[in-house]
Structure formats: structure tokens, C-alpha cells
Amino acid sequence: MDKLLTVIFAALLGLCVGSFTNVLIYRLPRGEEFVKTPSHCMSCGHKLRWYENIPLLSFLLQGGKCRSCGVKLSAQYPLVEGLCGLMWVACVLLFWPDWAAMALTCLLFPLLCAVAVIDWRTFEIPNGLCIAIAILGIIRLLLDREHWLLYIIGMFSVSLFFLILWLVTGGRGIGLGDVKLMGAAGLLLGWQRIILAMLVGCILGAVIHLIRMRRGAGKKLAFGPYLSAGIWLSALFGESIIRAYLGLMGL
């Protein structure tokens, strides 16, 4: 397939996946079914028609409001949809023509996006999202069986450290969801990139949360959004960053 056509296809499909990601973000914490149940207004329950459910376009045409009850819709809808579309395009541009890398990385972003938003709001990471990321990791391992040890070590290198921290602090230092997230992502990225993801996540979490605390936020930290950002950065640029670092060290 031509690269330009692939970029266009990725953008459109990414927007649609972003729409489904919004469904996951709202329904998973509530334990609601998210496959068969039609999309509906969270305020009045109005079932959305097909023309009310077009990513980005419907939100803009409706003025950011429900057509039935007029309630203002969250800006999260177009933001998540737009980000998914952009990130899918980025994956194609960065990994072309490696179809496996493109597909796995594209599928990773909406899962990380759901993890980040849900953990930010609820301080919990649904097990289903970690399982989905782990499945991507298994696929990556099967496609690169020659380097299987890289991924197996990656599954434990950070998650085992987090698990020990969870046990020592009685769950006060870190959440068990973070342990599962890093285990699943480590299986996908391998040990080098998951360590990089952890470092990036820790730095982002420390800096941003300190700023938020100065502005009145509590001490309790939702670590998932920062770890997700680190995982995503490492998935896209991890190999280049690691090579550059090793080159500076003369290794």
C-alpha cells in the first residue's frame, strides 16, 4: 500500500479508535458493557444515531452539545479522538514500512490513553487494559522469537522492583495497577526501553506533581498517566534515545 494512502487510512481509523477509547474511559470504571451497548448521552441516555457519532465532526457540528438534551459535552471526546488520529499517523511515519511495529504501536496508544485518563480520575488501572497490553507484548515476542529473552526480562525488570516497593510500603508507595502496567509494557518493549519508560515516568511525575501540589493539589499521586507517557515516548523513540546515550558514553 502506498505510504500516503496508509497515512490517510491510519488517520481515519485512529479517529474511530479514539471514539471507542472514550467509551472505554467512561464505562470501564463503572463496570458497564462496552461492546454491544450503543453509544448514548451520559446525561439523558439518548442513543446516538450514526451521524451523531462521527469522530470530531459530530462534536463540531453539534456545537459540543447533546442534540437531545442540550447538555455540554466534555472536551475529552474530540481531544482523545484527535490524539488517536495524530498518534496513528505518527506511528506510520516513524515505523514505515515495518507493518508489525506500526500495528502494535498504534494499538498501544489508545490503551495507554485509557489507562492515563482512568487512573487520573479514579486512582485505579483496570486489569483489562493491562491484559490487552500484555497480549500486544506476546505478539511482539512471537514475531521476534530470536530475542525472546529481551522481552521476558523486560516483563520483570521494572514490575518486580515496583512489586517489592508495593509490598514494603503496604501499597502506599505505589499501586498494584502500576506493577501490572509495567509488567505488560515491559513484555512489549523489552528491558532497555521499559527502564527508559520508568525513568521518564518518574521524572514527569515528580516535576508535574510538585507543581500541582504548589497549586493546591493533594499529595496522592496517580502514577499511571506519567508511566503511560514514559511508555509511549519509549515505544516511539526509545531505541534512538538509547543509541544516542550509549554513543555519548562511548559504548
Read off the pLDDT of residues 72-90 as tens digits, 9 standing for 90 and up: 888 999 999 999 999 999 9
First and final C-alpha spacing in the chain: 39
CB 133 within 8 A of CB 111: yes
Percentage of the chain exceeding pLDDT 90 = 71
Q: Which of 27-36, 145-154, 181-190 has the lowest mean pLDDT?
A: 27-36
All 3 cell numbers of residue 61?
A: 457540528
- What number is the average pLDDT over the span 201-221? 88
Spell 72-93 as b/e; 16+ CB within 10 A means b: ebeeebbbbbbbbbbbbbbbbe
Spatial separation of the C-alpha atoms in residues 183 and 187, rounded to whole Å: 6
Give the per-residue pLDDT at 1.
Answer: 63
Provide φ and ψ at 219, rounded to 5°.
Answer: -75, -25
Confidence of residue 207 (pLDDT cuts 50, 70, 90): very high
Q: What is the pLDDT of residue 191?
A: 96
Identity (one letter) of the amino acid at 179?
V
Cβ-defined contacts of 101-108 (< 8 Å, 24+): 102/10, 104/136, 104/139, 104/140, 104/188, 105/235, 105/236, 106/10, 106/14, 106/17, 107/136, 108/133, 108/136, 108/188, 108/231, 108/232, 108/235
Write out pLDDT tens, residues 169-202: 988 889 999 999 999 999 999 999 999 999 999 9
Rounded to an integer, what distance in angstroms lies between the CA atom of residue 182 and that of residue 194? 7
Distance between CA 50 and CA 53 in Å, rounded?
5
| Chain center to CA of 36 | 23
Give, as one character, the DSSP assignment of residue 36. S
Residue-level length of the chain: 251
More confident residue, 203 or 219: 203
Cβ proximity of 182 and 227 under 8 Å: yes
Contacts of residue 178, defined as CB under 8 A and 6 or more positions apart, other chains included, come to: 125, 162, 223, 224, 227
What's the whole-number mean pLDDT along residues 40-48? 77
